[in-house]
Amino acid sequence: MGKLKIAIIGCGNMGLTYAKSFIAYDLVFKDDILLIEKNAEHGKFLETLNIGKIASNIDSKLREYEIIILAVKPQDFETVAPALQKVLEPHHLVFSIMAGISIDRIEKSLRHKMIVRAMPNTPAQIGMGITAYVAGKSVKMEHIRKVEKMLSTTGREIMMEEESMLDAVTALSGSGPAYFYYFVKYMIEAGKQMGIDEGMSALLVKQTMNGAYHLMNNGNKNLDDLIASVKSKGGTTEAALNVFEEKLVGESIIIALKAAEARAKELAK
Ligand SMILES: NC(=O)c1ccc[n+]([C@@H]2O[C@H](COP(=O)([O-])OP(=O)(O)OC[C@H]3O[C@@H](n4cnc5c(N)ncnc54)[C@H](OP(=O)(O)O)[C@@H]3O)[C@@H](O)[C@H]2O)c1
C-alpha cells in the first residue's frame, strides 16, 4: 500500500491530531494532505505548522483525495453536507468521527455509500488513543486496511460489528479521559485540604495513577486482588473505600456512564 491522500474537514482538536499523527508516522506526504478549516484565524495558525495544504472551503480540489475525514462538530454536519455532496465521487471513503451521527444519516445527507464511522478519544494526540469504528455495507477490505493504517498512527483501534455499540463506546472511551481527570482533580484537592501543597499533591497523585496503571497491566492480578493488595483490615485504604461504598460511588459511576450512553443515543436521533 502506497502513501495515502487524505483531506480533513474541520481541523480543531481531533482533525489536527490526525494531521499531525499522519505526518509524524510518515503515512502521507505533506503535499498529499489537505486541511479544510472554516475558522480563518485557526486557518492562519495551521499555515504556520507546515503540515499540509490549507483551504477554507469544500470544493472540487477534494476530488484528488481518496479519504475524507469529517471532524467538524456534529451540529456543523448539516452545513458541510450540501457542499461535500457536490464533490464526492464513488471512490471516496468518508471517515466520520462526529459523535452521534449515524452511518445511515451520513449516507442519506451525502448521497454516498462508502462511510466509516469512528469514535476516537483525546489521548490520540500522543499516540495513546483508542478508536472503535464501524464500516458501512459498501466498504471493502482494502478500505478497512487503509482505515486501520490511519488509526494506528493515533494508538489502537477496534472494529465493531454493531453500530449501536458506538454509543456505549462513546460513554466508555470517548468520554472516558474526562472521568479520569475528574478523579485525579479531586484526589489532588484532597491532598491540598490535608496540607500538602498543590504541586506536591499533583505529583503524588499523577505518579500513583501512572504506577497503578502499569501494575494493573503488567501483573497477573485481577482488579479485586489489586485492591486487596493495598487494603488491610481496619486500615487506611479500607477507611476510604468504606466511604466510597456508603456514598455509592461504584453505583454512581455505572449510572453516570449509562447517562453518557443515553445522551449519545438521544443525540443520534
Ligand atoms: N474532542 C473529543 O474528545 C472527541 C472524541 C471523539 C469524537 N469527537 C468528535 O470529533 C469532532 C470534532 O471535535 P473537536 O473536539 O475536534 O471539535 P473542534 O475543536 O471544535 O474542531 C472542529 C473544527 O471544525 C471547524 N469547522 C466548523 N465548520 C466547518 C466547515 N464547514 N468547514 C471546515 N471546518 C469547519 C470549526 O471551526 P469553528 O470553531 O469556527 O466552528 C473547528 O475549528 C466532533 O464531531 C466530535 O463529536 C471528539
What pLDDT digit, counting tens, does each position of 15-41 carry?
A: 999 999 999 999 999 999 999 999 999
Residue nearest to atom 32 of ligand 1 (CA): 38
Task: Tell me the DSSP string of 96-121.
Answer: E--TT--HHHHHHHHT---EEEEE--
pLDDT above 90 for 177:
yes
pLDDT above 90 for 229:
yes
pLDDT above 90 for 58:
yes
pLDDT above 70 for 80:
yes
Can you tell me the distance from the alpha carbon of 211 to that of 216, in angstroms, rounded to the nearest whole number? 9
Ordered domains of the chain (ranges, CATH): 6-161 (3.40.50.720), 176-268 (1.10.3730.10)
In this structure, the number of other CB atoms found within 10 A of the CB of residue 243 comes to: 10
Pocket (CB within 6 angstroms of ligand 1): 9-10, 12-15, 36-39, 42, 71-74, 76, 79-80, 97-99, 119-122, 174
The pLDDT confidence band at residue 2, using thresholds 50, 70 and 90, is confident
Q: Residue 132 is inside which H or E element, if any?
A: strand 129-135
pLDDT above 70 for 1:
no
Can you tell me the distance from the alpha carbon of 117 to that of 98, in angstroms, rounded to the nearest whole number? 8
Q: Can you tell me which atom of ligand 1 is nearest the CA of 56? A: 33
Can you tell me the distance from the alpha carbon of 42 to that of 200, in angstroms, rounded to the nearest whole number? 36
Contact (CB, 8 A) for 22 and 95: no
Q: 226 exposed, middle or buried (CB, 10 Å; 0-12, 13-18, 19+)?
A: middle
List, for residues 121-133, the tens digit of each pLDDT value. 999 999 999 999 9
Please name the residue that has the C-alpha cell 456543523: 76
Instruction: Tell me, in angstroms, the distance from the centre of ligand 1 to residue 12's CA.
Output: 5
pLDDT above 80 for 269:
no
Can you tell me the distance from the alpha carbon of 237 to that of 227, in angstroms, rounded to the nearest whole number? 9
Average pLDDT across the chain, whole number: 96
List, for residues 189-202, the tens digit of each pLDDT value. 999 999 999 999 99
pLDDT of residue 7: 98
Instruction: Tell me, in angstroms, the distance from the centre of ligand 1 to residue 160's CA.
Output: 23
List, for residues 88-115, the tens digit of each pLDDT value. 999 999 999 999 899 999 999 999 999 9
Instruction: Tell me, in angstroms, the distance from the centre of ligand 1 to residue 9's CA.
Output: 9
The whole-model pTM stands at 0.93
Mean predicted confidence (pLDDT) in 44-67: 94
